[in-house]
Amino acid sequence: MKKLINIILIVLLAGIINAQTADEVVRKIQNKFSTIDDLKANFTQIIYSSGKNTPTVLKGKFFFKKVNNLRIEVKDRLIVSNGTTVWNFDKSNNKVIISNYDNDYTSFSLPDIINSYPDLCSKEIVGKKAGITEVKLTPNDDRLNFKSVLLAVNNNDVIERVEITDYNNMRLVFELDSVQLNNNLSGQLFNFEPTEGVEVIDLR
């Protein structure tokens, strides 16, 4: 009986030791992100809107380079940003809209999501399954313009899914797969030069 009790205590203690708090998970994500200069991946973006019965789904390629350089390639659209300017190129209409990064609704800032948002939010682990830990961030006040952010992180401390819910209950899901880190991506990927014949709408 004593031996059985000792075994139970060992199992319970092991569970306590291995348990991670939400703060620890976030800290590991931040530490991992500090070692990443760039990444590329396939992505799926799903938008759930309260006014629509079916979600809007986009699939394509995602490129990121520190600090806020990003490139999103989908079938009929190309979004490019060098962290200062955003080029939103509509291939089907041969038209590009140019805007400032800070004012563009398409801006997707991994540094903010990973490094800035957690300090302004309460954090809790809301799920663990198949090597994925889900951490929910809920703003402590109205400085952030969303209701919550869910981060799904794998065992390598790399984010595989981000879910943002705004105050209108619209939910944006951004999933990454086939993630490749530190590829020495060229800066040319994150600039866009309109070719002759492209209609340019400059909102800067």
The pLDDT value recorded for residue 7 is 39
51 domain-assigned: yes
Taking the C-alpha atoms of residue 10 and residue 122, their distance in angstroms, rounded to an integer, is: 32
pLDDT at position 88 over 50: yes
The dihedral of CA 47, 155, 83, 194: what is its sign?
Answer: negative
pLDDT at 10 (0 to 100): 37
Confidence bin at 124 (pLDDT 50/70/90): very high
- Domain CATH for 106: 2.50.20.10
Q: Which residue has tokens 């984010």?
A: 159
Query: Does the residue 83 lie in any domain?
Result: yes
pTM: 0.81
Q: What's the pLDDT at 145?
A: 86
Name the burial class of residue 204, with classes exposed (0-12), middle (13-18) and buried (19+) by CB atoms within 10 angstroms of its CB: exposed
Residue 142 in any domain: the answer is yes
- pLDDT tens digits, 127-174: 998 899 999 999 999 888 889 999 999 999 999 999 999 888 899 999
Domains in the chain: how many in total? 1
Q: What is the pLDDT of residues 39-49, one digit of tens each?
A: 999 999 999 98
Distance separating alpha carbons of residues 174 and 194, to the nearest angstrom: 28
Amino acid at 135: V
Average pLDDT over residues 15-37: 82
Strand pairing of 77-81 and 85-90? antiparallel
Within a domain: residue 175? yes
Write down the mean pLDDT value for the chain: 87
Domain for residue 15, yes or no? no
| Domain that residue 148 falls in | 22-192
Within 10 angstroms of residue 181's Cβ, the number of other Cβ atoms is: 14
In a domain, 17, yes or no: no
How confident is the model at residue 14, as a pLDDT? 36
Residue 93 maps to a domain? yes
Q: State both tokens at 3.
A: 């031996």
- Extract the tokens encoding 182: 């530190």
C-alpha to C-alpha distance for 198 and 92, rounded to whole angstroms: 11
Residue 2 has pLDDT above 60, yes or no: no
Q: Which one has a higher pLDDT value, 103 or 161?
A: 161
**In-domain check, residue 42:** yes
Question: Would you call 135 exposed, middle or buried from its count of C-beta atoms within 10 A (0-12, 13-18, 19+)?
Answer: buried
Q: For 27, phi and psi rounded to 5 degrees?
A: -65, -40
107 pLDDT band (50/70/90 cuts)?
low
Residue 9: its H or E element: helix 2-18
